Amino acid sequence: MGTDRHSGAAGGTDRAAAGPLAGRTALVTGASRGIGRGVAERLARDGARVAVHYGNNEVAAKDTVGAIEAAGGSAFAVGAELGRPGDAEALWREFDRHADGLDILVNNAGIGTSRPLEEIGEEEYDRVFAVNTKAPFFIVRQGLGRLRDGGRVVNISSGLARNAVMPDKVAYAMTKAALDVFTRDLSKLLGPRGITVNSVAPGLIDTDNTAELLHATPGGWDRAAAISALGRVGAPADVADVVAFLASDAGRWVTGSWVDATGGSLM
């Protein structure tokens, strides 16, 4: 195991000058687009070297890496399609070509479901669990030796894991509820190593994933904005800032928690 890079106290002046995450390596799954891209850019701005994971969209991943480098940060792309046998091995094999261990793991890559309960088939059910639940489980399990003591794990959940506002998304919501149980138990398992584990639960965020709902459905944007106490639709940066806090030294005493990042959509 590596050394503990997240000390019990806040970072010193050297680290602050170079960014609070200077010297740390982060892996963000699904960082080619959407929330993951926002998280990758934010962690890089805080000084971390970021592995930008993607599934199929290498062009978008390279665009994220380019944006990070243009802003003075450091990043590299890691391709591995999740939701198929051997996905976690493939991801770590690719990661190992660029870095020697990591400090921050953000399990963000995920997919939704398209059909209501009456129509969803076994294939779609299995697929959404394979990508959203099984993949993060095995990425963590096979990453345990790479994750340094004092590190951070952040799992991107969903407000739907705790709220039935979109009951037709039940299978998707179940994948995130299972991920939340993983967060809780993992926080106990990794606590002795000083590693914190938390779930961050976004509400509706403007990404490719929600484009049809927000942009192609008449009135969709206004209805989504009205759900939030703050009266607007969320942006990837709204979630990225929460993840950055948990990844930082300032988040050292928060573990096993479910952080509501829905803009007050669950009240």
Angle of helix 34-45 relative to helix 236-247, nearest 10 degrees? 50
Q: How far is the CB of 152 from ligand NAP (least distance, A)?
A: 17
Helices (H), the chain: 13-18, 34-45, 58-70, 87-96, 122-129, 135-143, 170-190, 211, 220-227, 236-247
In the window 82-111, what residues touch ligand NAP (CB under 6 A)? 82-83, 108-111
Nearest approach, Cβ of residue 237 and ligand NAP (Å):
12
Q: Answer yes or no whether residue 153 interacts with ligand NAP by CB under 6 A.
A: no
Instruction: Output the DSSP codes for 13-60.
Output: HHHHHH-TTTT-EEEETT-SSHHHHHHHHHHHHTT-EEEEEESS-HHH
Task: Tell me the three state secondary structure of residue 182.
Answer: helix
- Among 7, 56, 74, 142, interactor with ligand NAP by CB under 6 A: 56
CA distance 126 to 171: 9
User: Binding of ligand NAP at residue 263 (CB under 6 A)?
Assistant: no
The reply to whether 223 sits near ligand NAP by the rule CB under 6 A is no
- How many C-beta atoms lie closer than 10 Å to residue 57's C-beta? 15
Could you count the other beta carbons within 10 Å of the beta carbon of residue 3? 8
Rounded least distance, CB 205 to ligand NAP, Å: 4
Q: Does 202 bind ligand NAP (CB under 6 A)?
A: yes
How many other CB atoms are found less than 10 A from the CB of residue 258?
A: 15
Regarding 69 and contact with ligand NAP (CB under 6 A), the answer is: no
Q: What are phi and psi of 53, to 5 degrees?
A: -80, 145
CA–CA separation, 3 vs 193, rounded Å? Answer: 10
- 228 binds ligand NAP per the rule CB under 6 A: no
39 binds ligand NAP (CB under 6 A): no
Q: Is residue 128 involved in binding ligand NAP (CB under 6 A)?
A: no
Q: What is the Cα–Cα distance from 86 to 125, expressed in whole angstroms?
A: 19
| Cβ 81 to ligand NAP shortest distance, Å | 5
- Residue span binding ligand NAP (CB under 6 A) among the ranges 15-23, 96-104, 143-151, 199-207: 199-207
How far apart are CB 176 and ligand NAP at their closest, in Å? 7
For residue 93, how far is the Cα from the chain centroid? 20
Q: Is 208 in the site for ligand NAP (CB under 6 A)?
A: yes
Q: Annotated catalytic sites, by residue?
A: 157-158, 172, 176
Among 11, 41, 47, 54, binds ligand NAP (CB under 6 A): 54
Please select the residue that binds ligand NAP; options are 21, 204, 240, 242, rule is CB under 6 A: 204
Measured from the CB of residue 193, what is the shortest distance to ligand NAP in angstroms? 25
Binding site for ligand NAP (CB under 6 A): 30-36, 54-57, 60, 81-83, 108-111, 131, 156, 158, 202, 204-205, 207-210
